Amino acid sequence: MPFASTFGEGMCFAFPDVCNTPTPAGPIPIPYPNIASLMMANPETCSMKVFITAMPAATVETEILLSEGDDAGTAGGLISGVFSGPCKFTLGSAVVFIEGNPAVFMGSLIGQNGVSSANMPMGSQIAPSQVLVQVAP
């Protein structure tokens, strides 16, 4: 079973995030990794009643305020026009609910660089928030 996600540690990753990157010859599209840390989550979107290893539990309602990794693409995303944005989990546990919302876990799918971004594929949590509590997917 995968480890439950919490506010704090944990990393999400999506690739490619194609951004227009300025060059002397003009902007060119370059694929970048897009990385989001649960440390950057909005605490108000995490559970205020359920704590895992002394940190608020994360659910599908948890929103990470900012993703990064494509900072060189300052001319913006090829489709979205932005190079950084919020992230939100799209898939959580079908069995474990926290305050009425599905719990998220290492491996959960997440929309990155803008919650409904069509500019890049879905991401996934690739590094655990903690390694003690597991949840059924």
Q: Are 63 and 52 in contact (CB under 8 A)?
A: no
Closest to 108 measured CA to CA, from 8, 13, 9, 7: 13
Identity of the amino acid at 64: I
Residue 3 has which token pair?
């480890």
Taking alpha carbons only, the member of 90, 33, 86 closest to residue 58 is 90
* pLDDT exceeds cutoff 90 at 118: no
pLDDT at 57 over 80: yes
46: DSSP letter: S
pLDDT in tens, 58-86: 999 999 999 888 778 888 777 777 777 89
The burial of 134, by beta-carbon neighbours within 10 Å (0-12 exposed, 13-18 middle, 19 or more buried), is given as middle
Average pLDDT over residues 39-43: 96
Model pLDDT, residue 130:
98
10-20 pLDDT, tens digit each: 999 999 888 88
> Domain boundaries in the chain?
35-69+84-127
Q: How confident is the model at residue 116 (pLDDT cuts 50, 70, 90)?
A: low
Please tell me the predicted confidence (pLDDT) of residue 72. Answer: 81
